Structure 1
Amino acid sequence: MSDETPVVFVVDDDVSVRESLELLIRSAGWQPNTFESAQEFLSCPRALVPNCLVLDVNLPDLSGLDLQRFVSVERTDMPIIFVTGYGDVPMTVKAMKAGAVEFLMKPFSDEVLLTAIGQALDRSRNLLAQDSEIHALRDRYASLSRREHEVMTLVVSGLLNKQVGFELGISEITVKAHRGQVMRKMKARSLPDLVNMAAKLSIAH
C-alpha cells in the first residue's frame, strides 16, 4: 500500500462483520483498519491520508453516537458512515444532524457501502486539502512584519493607499512598498485574491 492509500476505519464488536468488511475494503483498493470497540479505536493515531470511519451504533463501551461527538471535534477530516441492525428514525436523524454522511441498516449490499465509503473519502480528501491550504496561508502570514500585518489588514478592509497611510501615519509611497511586500509574501495574484486569503485567516480590521 502506498502512503497515499485511503484508510477506512471500522469499529464493530461483531468479529464476522469486521472480517467481511476488511476483505471488502481491501478488494476496493483501500486500507482497512478494524477495531472491536470505541476505546480501541481512540488509541489509534489519526490518519494523514483521506480516511473515513464505518461505525456500528451499538458498541459495548462507548456508543457510536458518543464516539461521533469526539470524532467531530478531534478528527474533523474523518467522515462517518453509521451501520446498525437496530436503528430507528430519531437515532438516524440525530446521527445525520451531527454530520454523519450515511446511515445504513444491516444487512446492506456491498455496492451501497462501497459507494458511501467512496463519497466519504472524497469529502475527507477535500477537507485535508482545505486544512493544508490554511496551514500554508498561516505560515505566509506569519512571515509578514508587524507593519506589513497592519497594511494588509487595512488594505483588505477596503482602504486606499492614501487612507492606509493616514491611518498608520506613513507616506503613500511607503504604503505601496509594504503592500507590494505583502502581495509577494502572501503569493496573492490580485487584491481580491488577498481579500479572500484574509477571509480564510479571519483577519478583520
Structure 2
Amino acid sequence: MKAIIGTYRKRQYIDRALDSLRAHVTGVTEFVFIDDSGDRENASYLRTFGTVVETGGSGYGRAMRAACAAAEGEMSLWWEEDFTAVTDIDLDHMDEILTHRPYLAQLALLRGPHFPVEHEHGGVIEALQADGHEFREVDGVIEHAATFTGNPSVWRGSVFAAGWPRRRWSEDKKRRKLLRAGYRFGYLPGIRVEHDGERSGHGY
C-alpha cells in the first residue's frame, strides 16, 4: 500500500516518522511525500526515500488536494510527519477491514490525548463521547460518525478520489460530505501512534 506523508517543517520530524514507519508498519509498497516546506533542498532529501510532490508552502488545503491526487484512486495510508508509530501496524489487515466494510470511509489509528479537552476526559474517544458522539465496537473496529480525521489512517480509494474541500475548516467539511454520502468512520482500538507536533501551518 502507498504511504502518503504530509511534511512542511523540513527535517524537524520526518526522519523520526520514517524510522517509526520502517520499524512498526508492514505493507508499505512506496512512499509519496507531499512537501509543503517550499524548500528545494528538503525536497531533494525526501527524494532519496520516494516520490515528492512539492506544493511550495501553499498551506494545508492545497497539500491535502495534492495528497488526494497522489493516491490515484487507490486505498492508501495518510500520515503526517509529526506522528510516530508506537506499536505494530499491518496495512494489509486494514485494507481487508475496509474492503469488507464498504460503508467505512477510513480506518484511523488512535493516538494518545493531545489537546486539553482530551487530557481532561482521558482520551480522544472519551472527549468526543463527552461532546455527545456515539461509538460502538463491531468485530474489533470502533465505528462512529464523530470525525473524519487527518491523523494517521487508511482511506479507501473513493475517498481520496473525491478530493478535498477548498474552504476553511476543510477537515470538518470533508466529514459532513462523507456522512451525506452514507459513510461512517472507524478506529482500530488501542493507542498505536503518538503526536507531539504543534500546529504551525496555515490554510486549514
TM-score, length of structure 1 as denominator length: 0.28
Which structure is larger by alpha-carbon Rg, 1 or 2? 1
Q: 1 or 2, which has the higher strand percentage? A: 2
TM-score, length of structure 2 as denominator length: 0.28
Q: Comparing both chains, which one has the higher relative contact order based on Cα–Cα distances under 8 Å and sequence gaps of 6 or more?
A: 2
Q: 1 or 2, which has the higher helix percentage? A: 1
